Amino acid sequence: MKTLKDLGNLEGKRVLVRADFNVPLDGTKITDDGRIRAALPTINELRRQNAKIILMAHLGRPKGKVVPELSLAPVAARLSELLDAPVTLAKDTYGEDAQAKVAAMKDGDIVLLENVRFNPEETSKDEAERAAYAKKIAALGDVFVSDGFGVVHRAQGSNYDVAKDIPAAAGLLVEKEVKALSRATENPERPLTVVLGGSKVSDKLGVIENLLSKANRLVIGGGMVYTFLKALGNEVGTSLLEEDQLDTVKGYIETAKKNGVELVLPTDIVVNAGFPAGDTPINPEVVPADAIPADKMGLDIGPASQKLFHDKIVDSKTVVWNGPMGVFEVPQFAEGTRAVAQGLVDATKAGAFTIVGGGDSASAVRNLGFDEAGFSHISTGGGASLEFLEGKTLPGLAVLE
């Protein structure tokens, strides 16, 4: 994979950078700027080289239409604060305003193009349509730097097709992500423990399948665990259940046994009368994992499981975690996720290599107040890191080879 060094001296060059600024917003307020901060090393390196920096990114799912609430204006403002330098926002991605603002740039200037997903061609399945659009963007730059790890698993105009039109390389963030995830999947230090949570088994099928031949230990929590508990013949009440995945999960349990992979499931569960929303009262109750009452819903792993998961994680040399253990946004159901995060912190202190696999896990770590320095690597790409762990070819990386 080509990296920034392969592009040579970039002084005075127009450098198009595809970043991932898809941050959560509350109105115009950014509630988690982690992805913006993750882009700073590449931007600062380009500033050091005195390049003209043209940033592009998406925000939300405007579905090819201009949606004012999804403008990158809050991102431009936050970037300005973090860089202590002006960041000019273009009103479009490649049109008259973008062209004028890029033409007026001096060395070291920064322009942010408006939300690439305001253009229907960005995510078009028609390759010719996407390629023609990418050429218009590519015309703004001399070289292309792919630094939005959160989108490298998609073949889209601004991260894949542009890379075919002008010299292209990975930015520092993408390079760091690939190194970290490769370290966990290619000859990892053992024991390798993979902790999976989140709501659905179906979201993680490929990962489980791939890791059943690589991991020493698979720790399962979150909403997906109820399909595992049901597959073992247990009552799961009104908990999240994917009936259509029961046979697949039974197969995974057998394969784990056959391959000598330790499958760690919770021994106790925190239940409630229903999902904590609207009129549903919050009355948490701890029950054995094999005795969930028929009228109760599992929303977190229990105290005994928290200790079990924590200890299994600490007894590891490499840990990859993707997906929360429960409804961590509600304090009463956040302790399982906290215990796993703490396990990774303690494992890191003991010399293990630990990865928080993006998405909800990364949000949970920040929302629960953990210092990011306590983990070896926090991925910025939920879907991308999952597909990397599945062993899939990611188009946005393949195009940089």
Catalytic residues: 35, 200, 359, 383
Alpha carbon distances (Å) from 51 to 68, 94, 124, 230, 276: 30, 19, 31, 57, 51
What's the gap between Cα 281 and its chain centre? Answer: 32
233 is in an annotated binding site: no
26 is in an annotated binding site: no
Q: Which residues on neighbouring strands pair with residue 15, listed in sequence order?
A: 53, 143
Cα-flanking dihedrals φ and ψ of residue 356, to 5°?
-95, 115
298 is in an annotated binding site: yes
Q: Are strands 168-170 and 192-196 parallel, antiparallel or unpaired?
A: unpaired
144 is in an annotated binding site: no
353 is in an annotated binding site: no
Count of helices and strands (H, E) across the chain: 15, 17
96 contact partners, CB below 8 Å, separation of at least 6? none
CA distance 234 to 249: 14
21 is in an annotated binding site: yes
18 is in an annotated binding site: no
The kind and range of the H/E element at 298 are strand 297-301
97 is in an annotated binding site: no
360 is in an annotated binding site: yes
CA distance 272 to 292: 10
Cα-flanking dihedrals φ and ψ of residue 219, to 5°?
-105, 125
The interaxial angle of helices 359-367 and 382-390, nearest 10 deg, is: 130
Alpha carbon distances (Å) from 28 to 21, 31, 59, 363: 14, 9, 12, 19
Helix%, strand%, coil% for the chain, nearest 5: 45, 15, 40
35 is in an annotated binding site: yes
Count of Cβ atoms closer than 10 Å to residue 128 Cβ: 8
59 is in an annotated binding site: yes
22 is in an annotated binding site: yes
310 is in an annotated binding site: no
358 is in an annotated binding site: yes
296 is in an annotated binding site: no
Edge-to-edge strand ranges of the sheet holding 88-89 = 88-89, 110-112, 52-56, 14-18, 143-146, 168-170
Query: Which residues are known binding-site members?
Result: 20-22, 35, 58-61, 117, 154, 204, 298, 329, 358-361
Binding site residues for (2R)-3-phosphoglycerate, as ranges? 35, 117, 154
- Binding positions for ATP are 204, 298, 329, 358-361
The annotated binding site for substrate is made up of 20-22, 35, 58-61, 117, 154
